[in-house]
Amino acid sequence: MIASSPMQKRGAQHERWLSLVEHINRKVVGQPEAAKRYARAILAGEMGLTRKGRPRSFLIKLGPTGTGKTSMTVAASELLYGTDAIIRLNMAEFQEKRDLARLLGENRNDNGYLGDELDRLRKAGGHMLLVDEIEKAHKDIANVFLGMEGATVTMANGKTYYLDDIHCIVTSNLGSADAMEMGNLPYALVAEHIEQEAMTHFRPEVWARFTDKIVFRGLTYRVQEQIARDMLTDEARFQSARLGREIVIGDGVFRFIVAQGFHETLGARPMRNTVEYHVRAGIVEKILECLAEKGIELPKDWESEESQALLKAIVQTLPGSKLRLELVGQELKIRTE
């Protein structure tokens, strides 16, 4: 008998390849063109169609904040290689020249953060290196990634890593200032405009090195509505499992969340916070009510399994079968039914 590995659980390779576009479109709403382009670029690398001695792919994702650039990278990596089999570098944490030593190591005994992460990636069976917000990096640090001509990187301890089996995904907001006003224009026009704007920030030889440029558009009201619906359903499902009791979403909740969470320029970022805050606040109030009524003594280590079981037991004492999330004034409250 063949032992089941995480690989097998994620389905056969060809199934993962075939479902990649659909998978990322489900996770990242309203970016069908970017999803298709991204999936094709990644699969070209996976199938060995890209040049030897270079990274499997070397892509830049452009577009306004909160539109799915990071999430799409993570979603694809999860499907292809499994959870956490990805290196995520946020360049906002590498803005100073001295951060270079943290990245590549300080001395002969130091493999650096990147070296350690590459070791972890190999062990996890992943092939994706995400370099987020490249414009924030110190220029020497940006050059480690942008200058990856030979697909190698050497750490302070002398250890060289070959990156020819790696997809290097760079993301940036450069050139995206006008993206929201272009909300209803055809994708090709938006993409061309953002690419033109962004390329002025890079040296021409660096710009030419990207095997593909993938533009994300600003998120319209309609798209943000769909995202709100998905997030609300997800959060209710997550909390239902946590509490051991089904949570249904009552009338008015969805409209309230969309009205609170829609944002012109910040994309879907505020929506996630809005959903999480209001749903959780409603649950917190209900639990506090239960605790006050019953005077239950809680253990100190609230994270333990027993505590979580106790939480479920407290919720079980509520009458009815379902918990209904309802809008009361400007707050979400839990009603039992």
Ligand X SMILES: Nc1ncnc2c1ncn2[C@@H]1O[C@H](COP(=O)(O)OP(=O)(O)OP(=O)(O)O)[C@@H](O)[C@H]1O
- Min. distance of Cβ 144 from ligand X in angstroms? 20
Nearest to 25 by CA among 207, 307, 230, 171: 230
For residue 27, the minimal CB distance to ligand X (Å) is 7
Distant-in-sequence, close-in-space partners of 207: CB < 8 Å, separation ≥ 6: 199
Using a 10 angstrom Cβ sphere, with 0-12 exposed, 13-18 middle and 19 or more buried, the burial of residue 75 is buried
Binding site for ligand X (CB under 6 A): 28-31, 65-71, 132-133, 171, 173, 219, 227, 267-269, 272
Indicate the residue among 69 and 278 with the shorter CB distance to Mg ion. Answer: 69
Kindly state whether residue 173 participates in binding Mg ion, applying the rule CB under 5 A.
no
Tell me whether residue 127 or residue 217 sits nearer to ligand X (CB atom).
217
DSSP 8-class letter at 245: S
Among 31, 67, 70, 73, binds Mg ion (CB under 5 A): 70
268 binds, among ligand X, Mg ion, none (CB under 5 to 8 A by kind): ligand X
Note the helical H segments in 210-302: 221-243, 253-261, 269-294
Q: Which is nearer to ligand X, 198 or 323 (CB)?
A: 198
Q: Please list the helix, strand and coil fractions of the chain in percent, rounded to the nearest 5, in that order.
A: 50, 15, 35
Binding mask 132-161 for Mg ion (x = CB under 5 A): x-----------------------------
State in angstroms the smallest separation of the CB of 174 from ligand X: 10
Q: Rg of the Cα trace of the chain?
A: 23
Partner that binds at residue 66, options Mg ion, ligand X, none, CB closer than 5 to 8 Å by kind:
ligand X
The Cα–Cα gap between 325 and 279 comes to 8
Give whichever of 144 and 223 is closer to ligand X, judged by the CB atom: 223
What is the closest distance, in whole angstroms, from the C-beta atom of residue 43 to ligand X in the complex? 21
The pairing of strands 160-162 and 167-172 is: unpaired
Q: How far is the CB of 65 from ligand X (least distance, A)?
A: 3
**CB distance 257 to 280 below 8 Å:** no
Q: Where are the alpha helices (DSSP H) in the chain?
A: 6-9, 13-27, 32-46, 69-81, 99-104, 112-124, 139-146, 187-199, 204-209, 221-243, 253-261, 269-294, 305-316
Of 24 and 80, nearer to ligand X (C-beta) is: 24
The CB-of-133 to ligand X minimum distance in angstroms stands at 6
CB nearer ligand X, residue 172 or residue 211: 172
Residues that bind Mg ion (CB under 5 A): 69-70, 132
